[in-house]
Amino acid sequence: MPSCRRARATFIHRRAPRAPRALQSPWEPTRRGSLRRELKAWHVRTVIVGPMANQARMVAFITQVLARDPVQSGGVYVWEGVDQAG
């Protein structure tokens, strides 16, 4: 039996009105900037992705957000110095 929180999240996800496709892109410049500011506020220094389902999509997403390519090491993708990015 799913937890109450999970059931509620599923319900909200299924019932929430969807934004027009053009507004859903996480790659919009304003959204990328917002995500970078959040990472800075959280004092994130390193982002690591993998191994995981949909890894290629997540790597592409983080690459767009951080505006630079990761280093691949030991089966994961790493962006270091995130807190030093302009």
Domain parsing of the chain, residue ranges: 4-84
* pLDDT over 70 (residue 26): no
- pLDDT surpassing 60 at residue 76: yes
Q: CA 85, CA 29: separation in Å to the nearest integer?
A: 16
The pTM assigned to this predicted structure is: 0.65
What is the average pLDDT score of the chain? Answer: 78
Joined tokens for residue 42: 């959280």
- The Cα 37–Cα 35 span in angstroms is 5
Q: What is the pLDDT of residue 86?
A: 58
Q: Which residue has the tokens 């859903």?
A: 24
Asked if 10 and 2 count as a contact pair (C-beta separation under 8 A), the reply is yes
45-55 pLDDT per residue, tens: 999 999 999 99
